[in-house]
Structure 1
Amino acid sequence: MALTRDLLDIRTIYHEPAVEGFPLGQEILGRFPDAERIAVPSHWNIPELHGNAGSVADWVRIKRSTLVLGVKKSLTMRPNGRSAHFIAPSTSNGCAMACAYCYVPRRKGFSNPISLFVNIDQACAAIRRHAARQGPLPEPDAIDPAAWVYDIGENGDLSVDAAVSSGVRSFVELFRTLPNAKASFATKAVNRDLLDYDPQGKTRIRFSLMPARIAKVVDVRTAPIPERIAAIDDFVAAGYEVHANFSPVILYEGWEDDWRALFAELDGTLSDAAKAQLKCEIIMLTHNADLHDVNLGWHPRAEELLWRPDIQEAKVSQGGGTNLRYRTGWKGRWLGRFKALLADTMPYCTVRYAF
């Protein structure tokens, strides 16, 4: 992937001492020989990054110039039931991109550059054992007709991670060998290096899409929406299953017209082969008061779209946090209107789940 210096120019690497004992750790460190290396006791315990309110003003600079390397301690699978059957152990946390609505900085503090975990072989072995215990998928469901699906990119963007680490290729190669399992991850980047990974239908990429004029405000440092749409045919031809992730759906004056135009652009761009396998998920915006305060420190314009207490209400999430979502009752009506727009323009695009 041709990463510009505006997206990623690693100058500082914080790392746990054990990282150097792993082949992937050695590989990543070798890619950035001129970067300053700072040993830290834990990837979660870096005072210069986490909990440092002063870093808000340097939000983008830190994402561009800083990398964190650690060893993943927990390798358990978590049941999901929405985008996937299981959430696999995250091999990354944080991102070089800076979407204003991202939930990761809600938990990680004032800065969340890419953190990569180098014990990829252990993570792959854990997934292999878990998949073997599952046996065949008992029956088709909304997640997949034939395979157990593992989300391998819950806390980061693997398209960008793949420009820094061979770990993403290792995951794609792993799932290629598992007869009953499939990988899945969402992305807002277009990394054409992935076209050479030969997934053989065992990795599902979900390109996140929203109206382009809104993405220019809230999808900071990501691939432009037209570029993501244009890439879908190529990834299908390369052997990936490609779905659309309509997320987040943000409500504002004129949102229906913008989404109708996006659906028309998709319909007019995708090949018949891409349309035949296309499914989607729809996720209405979830926001958070703490993230709102952080965003005011670096990107207040985004909050004009995201912070709408007049139509939002507090709700406790599955993870136990208190977030803001569109008000009950009205949210269902707006979601119904969204689905009707989609069905009118792209009737072949099945909605896998929506919330």
Structure 2
Amino acid sequence: MPLPRELISIERIFYEPAVETFPYGQTMLARYRSAERIVVPSHWKIPELHGNEGSVEDWIRIKRSTLVLGVKKSLSMRPNGRSAHFIAPSTSNGCAMACAYCYVPRRKGFANPVTLFVNTEQACGAIRRHALRQGPLPEPDSIDPQAWVYDIGENGDLSVDASLYDGVRDFVHLFREIPNAKASFATKAVNRDLLTYEPRGRTRIRFSLMPERIAKLVDVRTSPIHERIAAIDDFVAAGYEVHANFSPVILYEGWEDEWRELFRQIDGTISAASKAQLRCEVIMLTHNAGLHDVNLGWHPRAEDLLWRPDIQEIKVSEGGQTNLRYRSGWKGRWLARFKDLLAAEMPYCTVRYAF
């Protein structure tokens, strides 16, 4: 089932010259043969898309109508230790959705549409070799009791990517063949085509969830929260491991009541089988002054929730970014309160990690 044309309808393709030498590159250019084509030296170097503040005015149009095709240069694995053991080479970068808190625009530029990497076979080979070198998982941990977990969607949303090309299917099928590893990715879109992929328990989907009222303000162009919750049983039945990604947790007057309502909605919707395998991660909001300025240009209402310097403080991330996070000390208390609410309403949902 294709995603709505309102979300993505390709009219223009930027692509690196080498894209035409790969089967997926040829397939994508043929699939969208009516789209305008523009050759660029690098998917990172497209001035009218990346670093162009003027694109704020066209933010949604660009995300809906523009596709970038590139070749992934680095195929190395990065240690993670939170949602996965390793971050695998990305299948994509950027997104057709426009969540107001997204960190990707901080790194790659303002209007950052979907970039698909067409050398999927090379990436799959690199993952396979790396996983086999690891041997068995030494002991159960908070990430998984049995397998090494590879996040295959760090910089995009694979449910959207899967509506554009078959590379996501390739990755899901790859992990069926690796006995000591699982794939994992978070998503805010419900793409029921993924139900036909037969993951056989080797791919973990993390549906991102938050109170519906807040999602309508900050989760721009995503599947409604109730649709994500309603999809959980179907994805479990199709052979996926399904976890919840409670992210970001945004603090505001009344946040506890709305999260309690969300937990009760989940509990009253999903089956016993889904509850038995459900785990979650909890991520408190991180914001950024540069992104705040961008948002003021296209979605200022979201900033009423996201920009709270009265309860936030500056902190430099592991990647060197200067971000705003909830103040230490208080953040720990709020996080503890969140976990208490979750335990009261969904005691079966173990928190794998929280920060």
- Work out the CA distance in 1 between the residues paired with 2:4 and 2:130: 38
Aligned-CA RMSD value:
0.5
- Work out the CA distance in 2 between the residues paired with 1:109 and 1:11: 20
Indicate yes or no: 2:87 matched with 1:91: no
In structure 2, the residue matched to 1:3 is 3
Output one character per residue of 1:199-232: Cα deviation in whole Å (capped at 9) or x when no partner.
0000000000000000000000000000000000
Output one character per residue of 1:5-26: Cα deviation in whole Å (capped at 9) or x when no partner.
2101110000001101100111
Paired letter, 2:189: A
Helix, strand or coil at the partner of 1:133: helix
- Work out the CA distance in 1 between the residues paired with 2:339 and 2:201: 27
More displaced 10-residue stretch of structure 1: 247-256 or 25-34? 25-34
Displacement of 1:37 after TM fit? Answer: 0.5
Indicate yes or no: 2:14 matched with 1:22: no
In structure 2, the residue matched to 1:214 is 214
- Work out the CA distance in 1 between the residues paired with 2:198 and 2:273: 18
- Work out the CA distance in 2 between the residues paired with 1:146 and 1:48: 46
Identity %: 81
In structure 2, the residue matched to 1:104 is 104
Structure 2's unaligned 5+ residue stretches are none
- Work out the CA distance in 2 between the residues paired with 1:318 and 1:187: 23
Paired letter, 2:15: H
Helix, strand or coil at the partner of 2:9: coil
Output one character per residue of 1:311-331: Cα deviation in whole Å (capped at 9) or x when no partner.
000001111111000000000
How does 1:262-341 map onto structure 2 within 5 Å? Answer: 262-341=262-341
TM-score, reference length from structure 2: 0.99
Paired letter, 2:325: R
Q: Aligned pair count?
A: 355
Displacement of 1:2 after TM fit? Answer: 2.5
In structure 2, the residue matched to 1:59 is 59
Paired letter, 1:301: R
Moved over 6 A (4+): none
- Work out the CA distance in 2 between the residues paired with 1:282 and 1:31: 39
TM-score, reference length from structure 1: 0.99
Indicate yes or no: 2:32 matched with 1:35: no
In structure 2, the residue matched to 1:237 is 237
- Work out the CA distance in 1 between the residues paired with 2:213 and 2:143: 30
In structure 2, the residue matched to 1:199 is 199
Q: Is the 8 A contact 2:3 2:191 kept in 1?
A: no
- Work out the CA distance in 1 between the residues paired with 2:2 and 2:42: 30
- Work out the CA distance in 2 between the residues paired with 1:100 and 1:52: 18
Displacement of 1:31 after TM fit? Answer: 1.7
Helix, strand or coil at the partner of 1:83: coil
Helix, strand or coil at the partner of 1:179: coil
Helix, strand or coil at the partner of 1:72: coil
Paired letter, 2:346: M
Paired letter, 2:135: G
